Structure 1
Amino acid sequence: MGHEGFAEVTRLAAAREELLSAVDLPGDAESVAVADADGRTLAEPVAAERDVPGFDRAAMDGYAVVATDTHDASGHSPVELDVVDSAVGRRQARYVHTGSPMPDGADAVVKVEETEERGDRIEMFAAVPPGENVAPAGEDVEAGDALYEPGRRLRPSDLGLLKAGGHRSVAVRPRPRVSVIPTGEELVDFDPGYGETTETNGLTVSRLVERWGGEANYRDIVGDDEDALRAAIERDTDHDIVVTTGGSSVGERDLIADVVADLGEVLCHGVALKPGHPVGYGVVDGTPVLTLPGYPVSCLVCAVQLLRPAVARAGGFEPAPFPEFEATLDRKIAGEVGVRSFVRVRKTGEGTVEPVRGGAGVLSSVAAADGWVVVPESLEGVAAGEPVVVQRWESFY
């Protein structure tokens, strides 16, 4: 299938599969402190080393008692017990705070609002069974319980459980190292003059790589010069993935495909997705090189669809599904048979969305969007009034 000057265009699913086959699996594990493991991927199974909690504890503020002493208590006929500050025996009670260890002898807690002080005695207005308002040792997890399997990308709540379960450090896979090389003679870092453009693709892609679990090396801009491009790619083949932005199409100044072919092998040049069909990839010295388009929206779409799963594979984990919501289209959206289209949409009301105006070069259209609708290759578009699923692609995981 040809498309706009490309001899052959690959379907997105096939392109993704071929790119992933060129990505190496992660190397040897490394040990990191639990506090530093947010977003890292476990390399080994982890089990709890101790009970959580490590003792029976009060689940409410109140009085620890022997449950059988309260069987006859009611709002009209309270039971009166002696207050103590040591172990609890029959007809005795001891005040406890939420989270306090249960005193020896006690097996339940009467909530403080169901009691009333009477000097050195306490009246109970509610009966409690054994275990009431008590969190037993190991209620959360017991020593030896499996916590997580290899391949899990750790979240902040995971770190809390790991620490509670007795772990100071964990074995994780190394972060994939990704070189991000912005290219283009017209690019400048700041203060563009006439005919110049502020570099944004490399910045955006490198920050996405970090969000996706990789370690990005955001390189300086490289102009449209074959020797300079060749040197930039060769310099970074020690990374897990090399990414270039710009110069990926088939114009006179689009040199990157020829450079990759000269250094190694181009596996694909042109993918059936919109926006972003000029994307390509190849291999240089065993390192996959992904050549993203220069238009900002095209660059983002291709990064999400191809680079994100590649980073996940290099990191040894599965990328999480994007959050989604269902909505109804206010206006029709266009597609193209044989091409998978990603149409940016924004909310227009309760349960309705409309396409965001702006082409592949309009970066503000991404900021204005609440997500995108994926139009499959089999459709020419989706009519107004039809239900759609909106992907929130710019999520953290």
Structure 2
Amino acid sequence: MSHDRREAGFKRRTRVADALATLLDAVDPHGRTESVPLADADGRVLAEPIDAPAPVPSYDRAAMDGYAVRAEDTFGASDRSPTVLRAVGTEADAIAPGEAARVHTGSAVPDGADAVVMIEQVETVGEEVEAFDAVAAGENVGEAGEDVADGQRLFKAGHALRPSDLGLLKSVGLDAVSAYEPTSVAVIPTGEELVQADPDPGEVIETNGLTVSRLVERWGGAARYRDVVTDDEDALAAAIEADLDADVVVTTGGSSVGERDLLPEVVDAVGEVLVHGVALKPGHPVCLGVADGTPIVSLPGYPVACIVNAAQFLRPVQRRVGGTSAPPFPTRRATLGRKIASEPGTRTFARVSLDEPGADDDEGGLPTAEPTRASGSGILSSVALADGWVVVPEPQEGLDAGAVVDVQLWEGSR
């Protein structure tokens, strides 16, 4: 990479979608798998497809408390003319014509029975049962395999498990799954001005590395939160090379075109810069590269720009290396409270807070998305105190007040 970038700045910025595609095309899933107990598998990514080894339920079961009967024995039954059947108790494995067996919700339906008369529709008289309702075959009966069929494909490889998925897998008799190991991500904060606490004038408390490492964990990875590395090419190169055994390396700071922005040259020296400068605001100086097959994401040093780029580039590549893809961010529809300005050709991420409709508003009214007053990319509180961001696509020149928008609730994602 030529050093004349410092004089030229960013004359050309790659579109966000193109930059991400370039990065993802340069990496492959790490392929490492392990057996994970179901109790520990929430959020884990399946390495193999899962087919049901058994049906659920594995037997025909009563869907109601009542009496299991042969449906044809009840035909014609009514309040005035009940059908009289012989009671055979609650432990019967089978019934014959003209018999009824007491069943409870979820219990097995005896052989020979094909329906259940609800307990509210019967009376017992000695050893006989009077049924006041005619039932059809299959009525109030859950058939074997009604929930899950034997051999049914439940999940594809690459699926990220949710709590409800774990319950389903347990119901078919599984107690562990084959999952990809969590993606290891080395997080290297850089900058000679950074300190961990008690800053002197001219020093800044390191926050980007902490924030990014915790995002890595939330997104299902395993973070290595490293010490701050100063603005020195040899030190930066050594730090990156020491962590190339990680699945992803991410640096914070030093990615722009100033005299102390050394990361693009360093990445190009240890590997290859794929993209430097993206049509994105805030945070266009992001640098994306690869070395020895390990993707390197160099995030800008301004906290807001760092977070925006982490969500747009680090999250997808971390998921890709971990064997799956990043799902869309959850969104909330809202009405824009004030105009958002943006530069045509640049994808803009505007931080907003959501004001819920009051009690006097019309029922079903949308919340109001209020852009934060502090818009600078160095104002960390503008993200921490926001509920999400509104994305202004590249072709648009801002959004007007009153527009109905989708607010990306990015921090609630996995």
TM-score over 0.5 (shorter chain): yes
Q: 1:327 aligns with which of 308, 312, 334?
A: 334
For residue 42 of structure 1, what is the aligned residue in structure 2? 46
Q: Provide the rounded CA distance (Å) in 2 between the counterparts of 1:269 and 1:198.
A: 26
For residue 214 of structure 2, what is the aligned residue in structure 1? 207
For residue 261 of structure 1, what is the aligned residue in structure 2? 268
- Give the C-alpha shift of residue 53 in structure 1: 0.9
For residue 395 of structure 2, what is the aligned residue in structure 1? 378
Identical-pair percentage: 60
For residue 369 of structure 2, what is the aligned residue in structure 1? 353
Runs of 4+ in structure 1 over 6 Å off: 1-4
Q: Provide the rounded CA distance (Å) in 2 between the counterparts of 1:116 and 1:222.
A: 82
Q: Secondary structure at the match of 2:67?
A: strand
- Give the C-alpha shift of residue 14 in structure 1: 1.8
1:233 partnered with 2:240: yes
The alpha-carbon distance between structure 1 residues 188 and 114, as it changes in their structure 2 partners (threshold 3 A), is farther
335-344 or 242-251: bigger deviation: 242-251
1:259-316 CA distance string (max 9 Å, x none): 2233233232221100111211222333221111122211111011111111121122
Q: CA RMSD in A?
A: 2.5
Q: 1:53 aligns with which of 14, 39, 57?
A: 57
- Give the C-alpha shift of residue 198 in structure 1: 3.5
Q: Provide the rounded CA distance (Å) in 2 between the counterparts of 1:96 and 1:195.
A: 78
For residue 170 of structure 1, what is the aligned residue in structure 2? 177
Q: Provide the rounded CA distance (Å) in 2 between the counterparts of 1:171 and 1:271.
A: 37
1:123-149 CA distance string (max 9 Å, x none): 333221111111111112222222222
Q: Provide the rounded CA distance (Å) in 1 between the counterparts of 2:7 and 2:148.
A: 57
Q: 2:34 aligns with which of 25, 30, 33?
A: 30
Q: TM-score w.r.t. structure 2 length?
A: 0.87
Superposition pairs for residues 24-173 of structure 1, below 5 Å?
Answer: 24-85=28-89, 86=92, 87-173=94-180
Q: Is the 8 A contact 2:6 2:257 kept in 1?
A: no
For residue 385 of structure 2, what is the aligned residue in structure 1? 368
Q: Provide the rounded CA distance (Å) in 2 between the counterparts of 1:119 and 1:294.
A: 84
1:20 partnered with 2:24: yes
Q: Provide the rounded CA distance (Å) in 2 between the counterparts of 1:103 and 1:353.
A: 59
Q: Provide the rounded CA distance (Å) in 2 between the counterparts of 1:261 and 1:42.
A: 34
Q: Secondary structure at the match of 1:381?
A: coil
- Give the C-alpha shift of residue 151 in structure 1: 2.2
- Give the C-alpha shift of residue 109 in structure 1: 1.4
Name structure 2 gaps, 5 residues minimum. Answer: 358-364
Name structure 1 gaps, 5 residues minimum. Answer: none
Q: Provide the rounded CA distance (Å) in 1 between the counterparts of 2:195 and 2:85.
A: 80
Q: Provide the rounded CA distance (Å) in 1 between the counterparts of 2:113 and 2:32.
A: 50
Q: Provide the rounded CA distance (Å) in 2 between the counterparts of 1:333 and 1:2.
A: 31
80-89 or 280-289: bigger deviation: 80-89
The residue identity in structure 2 corresponding to 1:331 is R
Q: Secondary structure at the match of 2:167?
A: helix
Q: Secondary structure at the match of 1:89?
A: coil
Q: How many residues align?
A: 397
Q: 2:344 aligns with which of 325, 331, 337?
A: 337
Q: Is the 8 A contact 1:110 1:133 kept in 2?
A: yes
1:145-177 CA distance string (max 9 Å, x none): 222222222222222222323333333333322
Q: Is the 8 A contact 1:84 1:93 kept in 2?
A: yes
Q: Is the 8 A contact 2:38 2:166 kept in 1?
A: yes
